[in-house]
């Protein structure tokens, strides 16, 4: 399935039904009087979060959504039928913005959460409502009100506890496939991953957590280089980041410079991203040249105050210890957030 995390849609609630002008005309009832019923209310347009969805693809075409209008009133004081609401399902984590003002209207964070984006028009009153002691035969009725309408911009930000970041081809997808049942595309060339992938990590006696592989981060990502600007928004939802480093290309690859460059991109996109807790991992230590340099690299990061985990996503070496450390950090972060 194609991954789409932005959509622009037009929504129009149902118009209210018109009131009716009618008079009782029955045998043996010479003064029947007005009996025109009210019009029915128009249907609302509702967005509903659905955990079974993972993309906004279904909303890209068609992009106009209209709810049912209310029925017109009828004689014998019959009220028009209420218009049926239109429920549009969107993935959990969808932000709803008014396109004209760019105002954030709602953040749909929970499965089943609903938000009325356009309210149906009220039905018009029938002539029975206008009868008075001095006007016993009113010949007027109201038209139904128009339903609300607007253009909306929907943005999907994936809900994940942990984000995997790092330069292309450092082994993020390989690690994700090692720690979860996710099956991302894996190859030995940059930008293999073109969409975020999610995986659930389950450890014994620990709270399961969701990991997202965030693709396309390179130097200049916050300015639109690579794919980073497209997917940086998905980092915002995470509580914790696993920063994957790679020195398998030889001495020309400086892990400290890579670490600082990507953190600069996070800060440039939004300052809050730089403040997130990061767990660092040096990948591909199954390669002899990487293992030889690993101790020196580990010492460099310890001077900076960052413990470095030495792992191999390919063989699994050190991965379990890394996941234990991530789980402990995550529990600490969540417990602090839940404190009164």
227, pLDDT greater than 60: no
User: Residues 290-318: pLDDT tens digits?
Assistant: 999 999 999 999 999 999 999 998 899 99
Both structure tokens of 44:
């609302």
Pick the CATH number of 162-337 from 3.40.190.10, 1.10.3470.10, 3.40.50.300, 1.10.3720.10: 3.40.50.300
> What are φ and ψ of residue 26, in 5° steps?
-125, 150
Average pLDDT over residues 3-31: 86
Quote the CA–CA distance of 45 and 89 in Å, as a whole number: 11
Q: Where are the domains of the chain?
A: 1-156, 162-337
86-91, strands of its sheet edge to edge: 86-91, 45-50, 114-118
Query: Would you state the pLDDT for residue 291?
Result: 92
| Domain at 1-156: CATH architecture | Distorted Sandwich (2.70)
Higher pLDDT, 30 or 125: 125
Specify the range with the lowest mean pLDDT, choosing from 19-33, 62-76, 142-156, 313-327: 19-33
Strand partners for 104: 97
What rounded mean pLDDT belongs to the chain? 85
Quote the CA–CA distance of 120 and 85 in Å, as a whole number: 8
Q: Of the segments 21-30, 267-276, 304-313, which one has the largest average pLDDT value?
A: 304-313
pLDDT > 70: percent of the chain: 89
The full DSSP string for 110-164 is: STT-EEEEEPPPPPPPPGGGG-BTTBSS----PPPPPPPEEEEEEEE----SEEE
Both structure tokens of 194:
């073109």
Quote the CA–CA distance of 163 and 235 in Å, as a whole number: 6
């Amino acid at each position: 399935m194609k991954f789409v995390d932005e959509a622009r849609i037009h929504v129009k609630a149902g118009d209210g039904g018109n009131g009716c002008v009618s008079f009782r005309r029955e045998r043996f009832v010479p003064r029947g009087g007005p009996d025109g019923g009210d019009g029915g209310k128009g249907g609302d347009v509702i967005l509903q979060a659905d955990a079974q969805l993972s993309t906004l693809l279904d909303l890209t075409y068609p992009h106009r959504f209209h709810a049912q209008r209310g029925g017109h009133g009828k004689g014998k004081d019959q009220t028009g039928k209420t218009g049926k609401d239109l429920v549009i399902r969107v993935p959990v984590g969808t932000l709803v913005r008014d396109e004209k003002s760019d105002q954030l209207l709602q953040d749909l964070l929970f499965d089943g959460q609903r938000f009325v984006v356009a309210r149906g028009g009220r039905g018009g009153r029938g002539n029975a409502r206008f009868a008075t002691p001095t006007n016993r035969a009113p010949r007027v009725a109201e038209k139904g009100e128009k339903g609300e309408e607007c253009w909306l911009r929907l943005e999907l930000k994936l809900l994940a506890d942990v984000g995997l970041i790092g330069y292309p081809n450092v082994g993020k997808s390989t690690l994700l496939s090692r720690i979860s049942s996710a099956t991302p595309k894996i190859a030995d060339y940059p930008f293999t991953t073109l969409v975020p992938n999610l995986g659930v990590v389950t450890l014994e006696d620990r709270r399961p957590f969701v990991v997202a592989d965030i693709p396309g981060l390179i130097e200049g990502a916050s300015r639109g280089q690579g794919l980073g600007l497209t997917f940086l928004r998905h980092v915002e939802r995470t509580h914790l980041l696993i920063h994957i480093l790679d020195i398998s290309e030889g001495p020309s690859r400086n892990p400290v410079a890579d670490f600082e460059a990507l953190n600069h991109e996070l800060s440039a996109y939004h300052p809050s991203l730089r403040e997130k807790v990061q767990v660092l991992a040096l990948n591909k230590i199954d390669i002899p040249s990487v293992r030889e340099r690993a101790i020196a690299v580990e010492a460099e990061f310890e001077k900076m105050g960052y413990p470095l985990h030495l792992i191999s996503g390919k063989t699994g070496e050190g991965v379990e210890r890394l996941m234990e450390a991530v789980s402990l950090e995550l529990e600490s972060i969540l417990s602090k957030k839940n404190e009164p």
